[in-house]
Amino acid sequence: MTAPPHENRPSGRASAHLPPSYDDRPPGSGRALPDTQQGIRRRNLARVMHAVSAEGPLSRASVATRIGLTRAAVSTLVDELIRWGLLEELGPERPGRVGRPGSALAVSGHGPAGIGAEIGVDHLAVCAVDLRGEVSARAVRHGANRGRAPSPVIEELTALVRQVVAEAAGEGLWAAGLAVAVPGLVARDARTVVRAPNLDWHDTDLGALLPADLPPAVDNEANFGALAELWLGKHTPRNFLHVSAEIGIGAAVVVDGRLLRGTRGFAGELGHVPVWPDGPRCRCGGRGCLEQYAGEEAVLRAAGVERGEDPAGPVGLLAHRAEDGDEGVRRALRGAGTALGIALTGAVNLLDPESVVLGGALAGLAPWLLPSLAHELAQRTAGPACPVSVSRLGPEGSLLGAAHSVVRAVLDDPASVAERA
């Protein structure tokens, strides 16, 4: 199977697009769906999908109980979801349960898949995730992208996408959409990279370069990292601040389970919060921004370490040296932790999140960043300091978040798949 033709692909008029709909809205709350019979039916289809996804395998009767509809109504919805390849029947439930045995329903592992892609400064990566959340295929290509023009980079990325889509098709999956994580600011049209300084891309319409047969959604890697934490983390709260880093420092604010995007889509620029306002000049035009103390280049410089060719990259290099007891590296990371703690104090006072999560490259450096970071937060906060945790997803977060964003969009509006399949 290959991806079915897609007729609703965004047109060239960037301003006409809506932001991607993969925020974690409560199932069936979709504001976009009106109170018509049709809108209510679509919401109910989403409720069924979310119930089975979250708690399946479930019988029709159990679904009915959970979402508060009659069993007859649920059966009609379920039949449709099975026909579209989104649910499957596992056969009769084990005996010994109370009542008439029903056939257990599960989310299909052979229907639509979300394709996630990541454009890193030093790599490209693509993966496919099925509706059950399992990664069915992946591909990575190492190599520096900094300073390369967007077109050849996207050509390489597209080749990886084709490879992953073909591999997933071998398992009966077809691509429901493509989400691309980039290390930069992305406009709310979900296709224009306004500024990716570490790639040296500016005002680049990636939507026009990406494959025409997949509905693409482009977003900042920190946003996808935060969404991955929200969807895949074990005890992630619904209000948190996710801090990640590749070369720059990015953050994403999640409020009531939804990303705070900002007016232009630029929210979360923690790296340019002033820490010592009279400090060194930053490439953003400011002075003493967090990135000047906790960004990769600042830490390497403070540690007196050359970028070098360590296969684990600069972050791996720093982690190895710190593990080996290199006092210069440890001091540099303590300094970065202090600056992070000061910037996060401001963010916590403004946003009152339930926790701060360190993700991306920061997760690997957490043992040396955390003590000074937590010290600043505790010293500077009245009352109990905001807890800080470390993501278990690490540098995989953004890629997984991208793929899962497509999966969530299917769960949130299963009927959209029927229109395309």
- The binding site for a second copy (CB under 8 A) comprises 26, 28-29, 31, 34-35, 40, 43-44, 68, 195, 237, 239, 251, 253, 255, 260-270, 272-278, 284-287, 342-343, 345-347, 349-354, 379-383
Q: Which is nearer to a second copy, 108 or 244 (CB)?
A: 244
Task: Supply the minimum distance, in Å, between the C-beta of residue 262 and a second copy.
Answer: 2
| Comparison of 268 and 314: residue with beta carbon closer to a second copy | 268
Q: Are strands 249-255 and 388-390 parallel, antiparallel or unpaired?
A: unpaired
Nearer to a second copy, 165 or 357 (CB): 357
* Rounded least distance, CB 295 to a second copy, Å: 14
- The minimum distance between CB 279 and a second copy, in angstroms, equals 11
The residues, any chain, with a CB within 8 Å of residue 387's CB and separated by 6 or more, are 354, 355, 356
- In the complex, the smallest distance separating the C-beta of residue 287 from a second copy, rounded to whole angstroms, is 7
Q: Which CB atom, from 109 or from 286, has the smaller least distance to a second copy?
A: 286
> Whole-number minimum distance, CB 263 to a second copy, in Å?
4
**Closer CB to a second copy, 81 or 289, in the complex:** 289
Using the minimum distance from each CB to a second copy, give the nearer residue, 61 or 351.
351
The distance of closest approach from Cβ of residue 282 to a second copy in the complex, given in angstroms and rounded to an integer, is 9
Quick one: 194 or 208, whose CB is closer to a second copy? 194
- Closest contact distance (angstroms) between CB of 67 and a second copy is 11
Minimum Å gap between C-beta 280 and a second copy is 13
Q: Would you say 265 or 314 has its CB closer to a second copy?
A: 265
